[in-house]
Amino acid sequence: MKYTTINVLLSLTSGVFADLHNVAVCISERKYSSIGGTPFSVSYTWAKEFEMLPDATKCACEAYRNRNTGDNQWDQCPDCTFDGTYCNSAGWHIGGDEITYYCEKICHAQGAEANPS
């Protein structure tokens, strides 16, 4: 019975945890490179390099701030601000999929990067 209860609680809470961030940026020219470790092992490590696009980030941040698509935390970003480089949200309202959409589809970047959730 304990395990059933735990599984039910985990399944109910999984929708609450989204890919949320407080800093994001639109990017182009994303490249991955190996920086060490043995292939096919847990020690194999990759690094990402990319060019940050301040103009596209400003565009995406403003579009996200004007977003109002529902009642989930990522559906609105009333505290989204552009600081000249990054889009910031003190309340962690930036959704990973959402900022990627704004960067790629609305502001014509190749993608987005954000701090870890």
- Residue 66 phi/psi, 5-degree rounding, is -85, -5
Categorise residue 53: left if φ over 0, alpha if ψ from -120 to 50, beta otherwise.
Answer: beta
Per-residue 3-state assignment (H helix, E strand, C coil) for 14-62: CCCCCCEECEEEEEEEEEEEEEECCCCCCCCEEEEEEEECHHHHHHHHH
Q: Which residues of the chain have pLDDT under 50?
A: 1-15
Confidence at residue 61, expressed as pLDDT on a 0 to 100 scale = 98
Nearest by Cα to 100 from 15, 47, 24, 48: 24
99-115 pLDDT, tens digit per residue, is 999 999 999 999 999 99
| pLDDT at 8 (0 to 100) | 36
